[in-house]
Amino acid sequence: MIQYAQLQFKKVLVLGLAKSGVAAAELLHELGAFVTVNDSKPFEENPQAQSLLQKGITVICGRHPEDLLDEGFELIVKNPGIPYSNPIIKNAIERKLPVITEVELAYLISEAPFIGITGTNGKTTTTTLIYEMLNNGHRNPRIAGNIGTVACSVAKEATKDDCIVIELSSFQLMGIQKFKPKIAILTNLYDAHLDYHGTFDEYRNAKLNITKNQDESDWLIFNTNQEVLRESVKDSKAKKVPFNSDHRTEEGISADETTIYWQGEPFIDRSIIALPGKHNLENILAALAASILYGCDKEKMEEVLKTFTGVRHRTQFVREWQGRKIYNDSKATNCLATKVALDAFTAPTILLAGGLDRGHSFEELRDSMKNVEGVVAFGETKERFIEFARSCGVKVAIEAEDVEDAVQKAATISNQGNIILLSPACASWDQYPNFEVRGDVFIEAVMKLN
């Protein structure tokens, strides 16, 4: 860990706890800063705040005092989920106080270089693939961010011989000043989180922060299939490495129906790839490009591609049962994600879908329902989803009480050669605390089939 001297004796406010806030507060305290933590959860119900207080960190809980910034803070480290419309954050910006997120703090103290991955979809799969390839190739990766350990906790332990592979959200990237990944990846850009960012342009600009500090010694890997990305990355100073999943190109990494190419030359036969779907081919291309640039051996990358069947809850292959291949895509909490999952398969599909009723239409799925032979719907939206499925010409559309019941009914109505796919197109909160629990229930039910 680099002892970042500029933080010593500095008055720092950590706004919001959770894992990233706790880790940031502890690191700042260790670096000699005068740390105050402010969290809305009452102190008596807040074991994290109680632990920080015992370490000598000032804690203010249960409210956000209007005069909090009058304490003379020189830096704000905010939880990424706290919007910039928050009164304290707005006040800090008016006072020209720097507002960062924990990722920036991790970068300031890290001896290891970063490989940063962002985008609307595919971040987790791409991040995991890179980690697996580099780990298999003995390149000393450490995984961090939204799918791993909090970034500054990883950075504290990492050495100059390691690298930190980190998934980054737009919320995190809004709060960077010096963060500069050696390799940056932009998987794709679609409308998302507009309730937080307000406009697509603001969202896109937040994502582009991943490359704002890069220079000619760095690389930017981006999806050249998307015009919005081709235009958006033009001002980046990094060496640009495009990926294209539609056809062979002479630059970057690309693929046609049979082969993956590096700089226009055949590199890997697609027949070895275990992970299905065009969207996953894009993730694979981005991960391969990063691993190649980081010096990973081709054979080590191929070994991962032969065995990697998906991240848990993201078009994850669960098992083959009596001639049916069964996939868990519980992470699909909206129609776009389910559309991507359905488009990944050409075999006749039994779709398990439904969940929290937010009143959203399912029309976005219509063109992707062509291979769906059966639907088992559950949750608050089950009646609406069945009505939609029938309007698409789906032969069999039935209700289930929950995911466990849906698995039993899907097994009954399916045939050999079918895909059975959990891809709900809805949030889980009507029946399950989160999509992970919903997916775990699905996996357990699938494993009980005999």
Looking at the domain assignment, is residue 137 inside a domain?
A: yes
Residue given tokens 């891809």 in the structure block: 423
Task: Say if residue 83 is exposed, middle or buried (CB neighbours under 10 Å; 0-12, 13-18, 19+).
Answer: middle
Looking at the domain assignment, is residue 264 inside a domain?
A: yes
Query: Among residues 307, 328, 344, which one ends one of the domains?
Result: 307
Question: Does residue 408 sit in the same domain as residue 335?
Answer: yes
Looking at the domain assignment, is residue 105 inside a domain?
A: no
Cβ count near 241 (within 10 Å):
24
Which domain CATH number covers 428?
3.90.190.20
Contacts by residues 437-441 (CB-CB < 8 Å, ≥ 24 positions apart): 438/330, 438/355, 438/403, 439/312, 439/313, 439/316, 439/328, 439/330, 439/331, 441/402, 441/403, 441/404
Question: Encoding tokens for residue 213?
Answer: 């500090």
Which domain CATH number covers 267?
3.40.1190.10
Query: Among residues 100, 119, 150, which one ends one of the domains?
Result: 100
Which domain CATH number covers 95?
3.40.50.720
**365 beta partners:** none
Question: Does residue 326 sit in the same domain as residue 392?
Answer: yes
CA distances in angstroms from 272 to 59, 135, 166, 265, listed in the order given = 54, 19, 27, 18
Question: Does residue 188 sit in the same domain as residue 263?
Answer: yes
Looking at the domain assignment, is residue 127 inside a domain?
A: yes
Residue pair 355/381 in contact by the 8 Å Cβ criterion: yes
128 annotated among ligand-binding-site residues: no
Smallest CA-to-CA distance from 130 within 315, 304, 260 is with: 304
198 annotated among ligand-binding-site residues: no
Domain count, the chain: 3
Residue type, 360: H
Beta strand pairing status for 99-100 and 75-78?
Answer: parallel
Residue pair 21/36 in contact by the 8 Å Cβ criterion: no
Confidence at residue 132, expressed as pLDDT on a 0 to 100 scale: 97
Residue given tokens 């970057």 in the structure block: 252
Please give the mean pLDDT across all residues of the chain: 95
Q: Using the CB atoms, write b or e for 99-127: b if 16+ within 10 Å.
A: bbbbbbbbbbbbebbbbbbbbbbbbbbbb
Confidence at residue 201, expressed as pLDDT on a 0 to 100 scale: 94
Question: Does residue 420 sit in the same domain as residue 273?
Answer: no
Cβ count near 316 (within 10 Å):
21
Domain hosting 82: range is 5-100
125 annotated among ligand-binding-site residues: yes
123 annotated among ligand-binding-site residues: yes
Smallest CA-to-CA distance from 205 within 219, 189, 218, 187 is with: 189
Smallest CA-to-CA distance from 441 within 388, 403, 387 is with: 403
Question: Does residue 422 sit in the same domain as residue 334?
Answer: yes
Radius of gyration of the chain (CA): 23
Give the residues of the chain that fall short of pLDDT 50: none
CA distance 298 to 136: 11
Residue 290's Cα: distance from chain center in Å?
Answer: 17
Question: Does residue 96 sit in the same domain as residue 150?
Answer: no
Residue pair 349/389 in contact by the 8 Å Cβ criterion: no
119 annotated among ligand-binding-site residues: yes
Beta strand pairing status for 58-61 and 34-39?
Answer: parallel
Residue pair 144/323 in contact by the 8 Å Cβ criterion: no
Residue type, 364: E
Looking at the domain assignment, is residue 219 inside a domain?
A: yes
280 annotated among ligand-binding-site residues: no
CA distance 372 to 429: 25
Query: Element (H or E) spanning 136, and its range?
Result: helix 123-136
Confidence at residue 94, expressed as pLDDT on a 0 to 100 scale: 95
Question: Does residue 173 sit in the same domain as residue 219?
Answer: yes
Query: Among residues 243, 274, 307, which one ends one of the domains?
Result: 307
Question: Does residue 248 sit in the same domain as residue 210?
Answer: yes
Question: Does residue 197 sit in the same domain as residue 140?
Answer: yes
Query: Element (H or E) spanning 413, and its range?
Result: helix 403-413
